[in-house]
Structure 1
Amino acid sequence: MKYLSGKEKEEAKNFMDLAAIVANGSSCLRTKCGSVIVKDIEVIGYGFNSPPGNKRLEKCLKDDLPDGFKSDKTCCIHAEERAIMLALRKDPQGITLLGSRLYFIRLDEKGEKTFAGKPYCTICSKMALDVGISEFTLWHEEGICVYGTEEYNQLSFGYKR
């Protein structure tokens, strides 16, 4: 992992700002997240979290999950998943995803960007790794941090709440 500086940091801030704009499309009742996938300074995919079909729910399904539920504990498609699916719709062979960088941001209740915690989503880390995304970018309190996707995946599997 590395924290960005200089021109690369400024460029990353712009993509994080774009991911925040995308996050506003979310219909999730708990939190709004956005992702953009970039290759050679071109956005090739973007997505926000929300239930399948961007349906609006009256109540979050997470509230009714039984203790010990073993699968993904959200009713939403993740922002990263949506961004990858959009990129694959544009390029079904996935060639443009190879060597790309994914940016992820979460918004608070007021729509402001929030700092990310440690990498923890194995669903998204595995999918990003499988389609050839090279880097995963989060905005930490210390700055904008880029992880190699393999490293991000390993950290995700080591995360404990």
Structure 2
Amino acid sequence: MKILKGQEEKNAMNYIMITRELAKQSKCKDHKCGSIIVKDNKIIGQGFNSPPKNLESQRRCDISKENYDKKVTDKTCCIHAEQRAILDALINNPDKLKNSRLYFTRIDKNNELISSGKPYCTICSKMTLDVGISEFILSHENGVYIYNTEEYNDLSFNFKSS
């Protein structure tokens, strides 16, 4: 992991602002997130978090998570922004995923950027590794961080909530 500086940070912020615009489309009641996948300075996949197919009938935000069986590991009702971006790239640019870069952003209720938080989603971290994405970019309060996807996956599995 490293903090991007100078022109690298400026370039990353341009892509982060695109993910911010995508996050505004999110139908999630709790967290609005956006994600893009970039290869050779071209966006090859994009997504935002929302219930599957944006169907209100699939929204499960108000259901107590304790009601789910222990085998149900993903207790969110939304398709994650990263998952949608990966699916979009697999459909439209499958040959470009290898060695691409995934950008992820979270926004608040006023559509302002907030810290993406520490790596924790093992579903998304495993997917990025499996499809060949090489880097994961997150916006934090003290800068823009770049992780290689193997490191990101390890950090996700070692996450401890505060």
Same fold (TM over 0.5): yes
User: Matched residues in 1 for 2:59 and 2:129: separation?
Assistant: 32
Q: Provide the rounded CA distance (Å) in 2 between the counterparts of 1:62 and 1:149.
A: 32
Contact persistence 2:135–2:149 (CA under 8 A): yes
Distance 1:68 1:77, change over 3 A: closer
Deviations 1:2-60 (A, max 9, x none): 11111111110000000000011111111110001001110000000000001236964
1:142 maps to 142
Alignment partner of 1:23 is 2:26: no
Partner of 1:96: 96
- What amino acid is aligned across from residue 124 of structure 2 in structure 1? C
**Structure 2: distance between partners of 1:51 and 1:147:** 27
CA displacement at 1:137 relative to structure 2: 0.5
Which residue number corresponds to residue 114 of structure 1? Answer: 114
Instruction: Return the match for 1:84 from 62, 86, 105.
Output: 86
With normalisation by structure 1, the TM-score equals 0.93
Q: TM-score, normalised by structure 2?
A: 0.92
> Percent identical across equivalent pairs?
53
CA deviations over 1:72-96 (Å, ceiling 9, x no partner): 12000000000000001113xx320
Rounded Cα–Cα distance in structure 2 between residues aligned with 1:81 and 1:159: 20
Map 1:5-24 onto structure 2 (within 5 A).
5-24=5-24
Structure 2 residue runs without a partner (length 5+): none
CA distance in structure 2 between the partners assigned to 1:104 and 1:57 by the alignment: 26
* CA distance in 1 between partners of 2:125 and 2:108 (Å): 23
Which amino acid letter does the alignment assign opposite residue 14 of structure 1? N
Cα–Cα, structure 1 residues 59 and 43, in superposed 2: closer, same or farther, change >3 Å? closer
List 4+ stretches of structure 1 deviating above 2 A: 56-65, 67-70
Contact 1:30 1:60 in 2 (8 A): no
CA RMSD of aligned residues (A): 1.7
Figure out how many residues of one structure are paired with residues of the other and give that number.
159
SS at match of 1:61: coil
> Cα 1:114–1:57, aligned 2, differ >3 Å: closer, same or farther?
farther
| Structure 1: runs of 5+ lacking an equivalent | none
8 A contact 2:68–2:75 mirrored in 1: no
Provide closer, same or farther for how the CA distance between residues 76 and 107 of structure 1 changes in structure 2, counting only shifts above 3 A.
same
